[in-house]
Amino acid sequence: MGDFRMFVNLPVRIDILTLLPELLIGPFAASIMQRAQDKGLVEIHMHNIRDYSTDKHKNVDDYQYGGGAGMVMSIEPIVTIIEKLQKQRTYDEVIYMTPDGTLLEQNTCNDLSLKKNLIILCGHYKGIDERIREHFITREISIGSYVLSGGELAAAVLTDAIVRLLPGVLNDETSALTDSFQDKLLSPPVYTRPPEFRGWEVPKVLLSGNFPEIEKWREKKAIERTQERRPDLFDE
């Protein structure tokens, strides 16, 4: 089935559930992310989880059963937000940003860029009550084998990686197709003017105007760079 947005001009909608919405203002208020919103290609909505707490102090965490260090994000406010949003529209994915999720790769971004509505939940503390993961989360994503103070920066990374792939976001739409990882290879070296600087010259093939030879050179360099820097990708 083709992308629904090809037939109906609707923006992609991304709802981010967070304890710290102020952390996300900057990443979405400049450059490509801001232009994508100004063009009506994406809507990004942030929801403060504390606003849905029934606790008089607006607490959204509690001690974990069984003891142990670290607090756990409470189930009720998160489920309340998700169910409220799901009553308003159908969501393709409910994504949880967590260090123990599947490592984010370009093919995941490609897939998510074809979706219509996404919810992204930012984790904190020791994580969320496991029942949320069991009954509401459809995909769990990590941006690396390390731990951040919260899932907001990870959510910003994921959102940026998705939005830049939407048709009309980049001025040159073919640019995203030649990025690193799109074909399981790193990008080849790139050069711009001047053709010579301090005796360092641009490879002559790039100045030749012979585009078939240029493409061969780029493919060769991409393979060499991947073998050298990311042999794990090359093995795949």
| 171 located within any domain | no
Q: Output the pLDDT for position 185.
A: 87
What's the domain range around 96? 4-163
Q: Do 145 and 209 fall into the same domain? A: no
Q: Output the pLDDT for position 234.
A: 73
Residue whose structure tokens are 């109906």: 8
Q: Do 123 and 227 fall into the same domain? A: no
Q: Do 136 and 185 fall into the same domain? A: no
Q: Do 91 and 127 fall into the same domain? A: yes
Count of domains for the chain: 2
Pull the structure tokens for residue 148: 């951040």
Query: How does pLDDT run along the chain (236 residues), one tens digit per residue?
Result: 444 444 446 899 999 999 999 999 999 999 999 999 999 999 999 999 999 999 889 999 999 999 999 999 999 999 999 999 999 999 999 999 999 999 999 999 999 999 999 999 999 999 999 999 999 999 999 999 999 999 999 999 999 999 999 999 997 655 555 555 667 888 899 999 999 999 999 999 999 999 999 999 999 999 999 999 999 887 76
Q: Do 17 and 128 fall into the same domain? A: yes
Q: Output the pLDDT for position 172.
A: 65
Q: Do 42 and 148 fall into the same domain? A: yes
Q: Which DSSP state fits 69?
A: S
| 174 located within any domain | no
Helices (H), ranges, the chain: 31-38, 75-88, 106-112, 130-135, 152-163, 211-229, 231-235
Tell me which of 130, 163, 196 is where a domain ends. 163
What CATH number should be reported for the domain holding residue 142? Answer: 3.40.1280.10
* pLDDT tens string 130-174: 999 999 999 999 999 999 999 999 999 999 999 999 999 997 655
What CATH number should be reported for the domain holding residue 217? Answer: 1.10.1270.20
Q: Output the pLDDT for position 178.
A: 56
139-157 burial code (b ≥16 CB/10 A, e <16): bbbbbeeeeeebbbbbbbb
Q: Output the pLDDT for position 181.
A: 63
Find, among 116, 127, 101, the residue nearest to 1 by Cα: 116
| 185 located within any domain | yes
| 169 located within any domain | no
Q: Output the pLDDT for position 14.
A: 98
Q: Do 143 and 224 fall into the same domain? A: no
- Quick check: 154 and 148 in contact, CB under 8 A? yes
